[in-house]
Amino acid sequence: MQLDLVDVFASGALSGNPLAVVRGGHSLDSAQMLALTRWLGFSETTFLLPPTEAGADYRVRIFYPAGELPFAGHPTLGSAAAWLAAGGVPADPAVAVQQCGAGLIPVRISADSFAFRAPPLVRSGPLNPAERAAAVRAAGVDDADVIAAVHAANGPGWHLLHLTSAAAVLAAQPVARAPVPTEVGLVGAWPAGHAQQFEVRAFFTDAQGRVAEDPVTGSLNAAVAQYLQAQGHAAAPGYSAAQGRSTGADGQIAVSIADDAIWIGGRTRIIARGAELVL
């Protein structure tokens, strides 16, 4: 059993979201996978396995400290990078196909950058008043700054707050504890001429209800892009977003928008490869 460490959505050295990828963990059960995830302490840990569906190049199980996820974005890109670096050969040299709880997810391959096709939202539409109030409280934002409060679930059950500006996003002061699960995302636009068009932040609870901030979140950025496109705030060919500055990271997300798909991409770099795990 071997462990790889991957930096995903990085803009420079050690600036993205770290991911642990376990290869050869076929004998581990779900409880052991979750225990290792909690011990490592990253926002997610993935476990690479042989595919069981036709059309998939590999299968991945994705865990975060409170359980297992059907899909997550930065684990998708990091797992693809680790699988390829370990000798994986996709049927299509330009696109690896990942099997996960959300189905088959195509991942574009390009040098040290990868991009996944945003899966369909499993829930959208406005939050009800109680959900909105809970999201506003958990994120620590002023309700007067909220343009819209919507479901943006695509695996994680994100509650998305669209704020009046990127500055309002950066000013958010999340609470220390919240009910499990809590998954709140924020997005706000930068003024014209800024290097990025949008600022994003993501908050979630661990198994004990402690609120953490994710450095860079692919699943949330996918849902944000789908929301922004549907509401006329973003269009082809796409935009760039920043995330993680409040955590000390400097994540950069490239969003490509076409008529038939949205792709979420970023620089993905393996930091360490092949550490032997003895469990």
For residue 107, is it within any domain? Answer: yes
- β strands within the chain, DSSP E: 2-8, 17-23, 45-49, 58-64, 67-69, 95-100, 103-110, 113-117, 146-153, 157-163, 183-189, 198-205, 211-213, 238-243, 251-257, 262-276
- pLDDT tens sequence across 26-85: 999 999 999 999 999 999 999 999 999 999 999 999 999 889 999 999 999 999 999 999
- The stretch 204-227 carries a mean pLDDT of 94
For residue 28, is it within any domain? Answer: yes
- The stretch 227-250 carries a mean pLDDT of 96
Residues 247 and 269 in one domain: no
Give the Cα-Cα-Cα angle 89, 93, 96 (nearest 5 degrees). 70
For residue 120, is it within any domain? Answer: no
Which CATH number does the domain housing residue 9 bear?
3.10.310.10
For residue 122, is it within any domain? Answer: no
Residues 155 and 105 in one domain: no
User: What does R_g of the chain's alpha carbons equal in angstroms?
Assistant: 18
Residue 112 has pLDDT above 90, yes or no: no
For residue 123, is it within any domain? Answer: no
- Domains held by the chain: number: 2
Tell me what the pLDDT averaged over the chain comes to.
95
Residues 110 and 187 in one domain: no
Domain extent, residue 223, equals 129-263
Where b means 16+ CB within 10 Å and e means fewer, 123-157 reads ebeebeeeebebbbebbebeeebbeebbbbbbbbe
Start-to-end C-alpha separation, the chain: 9
Specify the pLDDT at position 111. 80
Give the Cα-Cα-Cα angle 156, 153, 30 (nearest 5 degrees). 25
Residue 2, CA distances (Å) to 22, 83, 99, 238, 252 in order: 6, 12, 20, 37, 28
For residue 101, is it within any domain? Answer: yes
Residues 227 and 165 in one domain: yes
Residues 93 and 186 in one domain: no
Give the Cα-Cα-Cα angle 199, 203, 204 (nearest 5 degrees). 155
Specify the pLDDT at position 35. 96
